[in-house]
Amino acid sequence: MPDYESVGCAFKSRRARSVVPNGITAKDAKTAKVPEHERWMRVALAEAEAAAAEGEVPVGCVVVHEGRIIGRGHNRTEALKDPTAHAEIIAIGAAATALENWRLSGATVYVTIEPCLMCAGALTLARPELVVYGARDPKFGCLGSQYDIARDNRFNHGLKVVEGVLATESAGLLKEFFRSRRSGKQGTVPSARRAAQSPFSRKAQ
């Protein structure tokens, strides 16, 4: 996992940026699509809460295709002793298996925190229709913070990005996780419990 803790409370919970790359307009991001994005981001938040409960840095991801979840995952770097076991990698791998196709054409990937260099690269290769993320990661984020692969024409597969969906909740999970860890406690946090109570919790899927 990127060294999220070193940036402490630096996660930015910006609102959806007014213009996102490759044709998603501010109107799309802020009006018609927002309830749909928030619906699925709450499932990603439930995944992030599951990570926190396992003592993992709370980042969650779901992949949605034709109105249903085809892949989901949360950070498992500690459990698997695997630096590549990020939420996005696990979720898009499951989605590709479900589709029996490495191209995630027509799918939307929801992730609670801005993807890192590895995950932004994997998302570029997977070619989903859209990537939606919550809070920025100023230290490791590569869809707008340290770098923006979606705006680099050398790797342009038409990756569309919307950011800022439930950013406050996404960043809050991380902040509370690190705060609890510093005080010697781990596990669920208040905002995570709200995520778990969502109608789109794990058991509902």
Establish if 57 lies at the interface with Zn ion (CB under 5 A): no
Q: How far is the CB of 92 from Zn ion (least distance, A)?
A: 11
Record the tokens describing residue 50, joined without a space: 């599951």
Q: Which of 119, 167, 171, 174 binds Zn ion (CB under 5 A)?
A: 119
Q: Which stretch binds Zn ion (CB under 5 A): 94-102, 111-119, 155-163, 178-186?
A: 111-119
Q: Which stretch binds Zn ion (CB under 5 A): 16-24, 95-103, 116-124, 145-153?
A: 116-124
Q: How far is the CB of 140 from Zn ion (least distance, A)?
A: 8
How many residues bind Zn ion (CB under 5 A)? The answer is: 3
* End-to-end CA, the chain: 26
Q: How far is the CB of 39 from Zn ion (least distance, A)?
A: 23
Question: Which of the following is catalytic: 47, 49, 88, 114?
Answer: 88
Question: Taking Cα atoms as reference points, which of 5, 24, 6, 50 lies closest to residue 133?
Answer: 24
Q: Which stretch binds Zn ion (CB under 5 A): 5-13, 68-76, 108-116, 126-134?
A: 108-116
Query: Is 114 a catalytic site residue?
Result: no
The residue behind tokens 């060294």 is 3
Per-residue binder mask for Zn ion (CB under 5 A), 74-103, x = binder: ------------x-----------------
Record the tokens describing residue 19, joined without a space: 């213009």
Q: How far is the CB of 116 from Zn ion (least distance, A)?
A: 3
Greatest Cα-to-Cα distance within the chain, rounded to the nearest angstrom: 46
Strand, coil or helix: 68: strand
Question: Taking Cα atoms as reference points, which of 112, 143, 106, 125 lies closest to residue 41?
Answer: 112
- Do the beta carbons of residue 125 and residue 109 sit within 8 Å? no
Segment 162-201, which members bind Zn ion (CB under 5 A)?
none
Q: Which stretch binds Zn ion (CB under 5 A): 20-28, 110-118, 150-158, 192-200?
A: 110-118
Q: How far is the CB of 93 from Zn ion (least distance, A)?
A: 13
Q: Radius of gyration over alpha carbons of the chain, in Å?
A: 15
Record the tokens describing residue 83, joined without a space: 């630096």
Establish if 116 lies at the interface with Zn ion (CB under 5 A): yes
Record the tokens describing residue 71, joined without a space: 């892949």
| Residue 151, amino acid | R
The Cα-based distances of 167 to 17, 104, 162, 175 in angstroms read 12, 24, 11, 12
Tell me which residues touch Zn ion (CB under 5 A): 86, 116, 119
Active site positions, annotated: 88
